[in-house]
Amino acid sequence: MNAGLSLLRNLMKQLSNYKSHLFCFVTILMWSTLEVSGKLLSDDVTPYAITAWRFLIGGLLLLPFAFKSSAEHEKPGLKGILHLGFLGFFNVCLSMLILQLSVYYGKASVTAIILSINPLFVAIFAGLIIKEKLNKTDVLALIVGILGILVLVLGEVEMDDSKYRNLPLGVVLAITAALTFGLYTVLTKSAVQRYGNIRANAISFLLGSVSLFAYNFIVGKDSLISLSLTNFAVTAYMGLFITGIAYLLYFEGMQSIGASKASMYFFLKPLFATLLAWLLLSESLHGIQIVAVMLIVLAMLIPRFSTFKINSKKSLD
């Protein structure tokens, strides 16, 4: 009987792990559609409007789950709210707005590929700000990643193509978005540890969106989404799925399989985003740019190889 119960428990645990891997896979698939989705909006929808609305919708969706966060995390007081407000401003009004501007001016596939390298920038900022050790493997990964970006940019043959508003500016904005999002990830670490992932994100998303709506009003940027079925569907999708449901699925999956295994799925984003941009926008990479994608994926994998070797050595010991 005990053997039967043990077998049943193991089976349930295995099924739970499969479900968690599925959640992470679906999450990265949705996040890979972010840049492509922005291109599907009509030309009169500004990056300022779509960024504000998607974080407002996503934050509202996450908010009920934030109240159910684990008792092991604190509820933020006034000081905590101000801290999360600053993080929301930094994420929404700077990093994600710059990302959307990159999509607006440039090429969705190139923006997605460049943004996917932000974990390498996280390692740099973590070393500078919270004094996490930056080892030789991290430096090698950064060098390979920068090489990948250079090859991607230098191999772009459509820099002067009139179908893009300003592709060179789009590239610069994409690199800036990757850098600022890497910095945001490090800055938000203490808040996530203190208040929990969902609570910290829900509150910061809402406060960040309100800040962007206020900025748009003050400087005269249009925050309205012009009425059309496509605009409504894309805005709802970006808010509900990319900014809301995807976060819930990712955090749910991460609880069972751990952050390290869950983050492995990020390596699929350059491939998924490139394929989706080709299918939906008729964008394509040219020649040497395929090598650039491989270099960027390799750069993200290098630290994992090092971790795997260390863990294997410990298990042997």
In 3-state terms, what secondary structure has residue 43? coil
| Domain count of the fold of the chain | 1
In a domain, 26, yes or no: no
**Domain range for 282:** 31-316
- Please write the tens of the pLDDT for every residue from 243-259: 999 988 888 777 776 66
Rounded Cα gap, residues 302 and 237, in angstroms: 33
Helix (H) or strand (E) holding 110, with range, is: helix 108-115
- Distances from the Cα of 207 to the Cα of 23, 111, 137, 188, 235, angstroms: 27, 26, 37, 14, 19
Rounded Cα gap, residues 300 and 268, in angstroms: 11
In a domain, 190, yes or no: yes
pTM (2 d.p.): 0.85
In a domain, 1, yes or no: no
Rounded Cα gap, residues 113 and 153, in angstroms: 11
In a domain, 4, yes or no: no
In a domain, 76, yes or no: yes
CA dihedral 142, 144, 146, 151 (to 10 degrees): -170
- Please write the tens of the pLDDT for every residue from 48-106: 999 999 999 999 999 998 887 566 788 899 999 999 999 999 999 999 999 999 999 99
- Please write the tens of the pLDDT for every residue from 196-217: 888 999 999 999 999 999 999 9
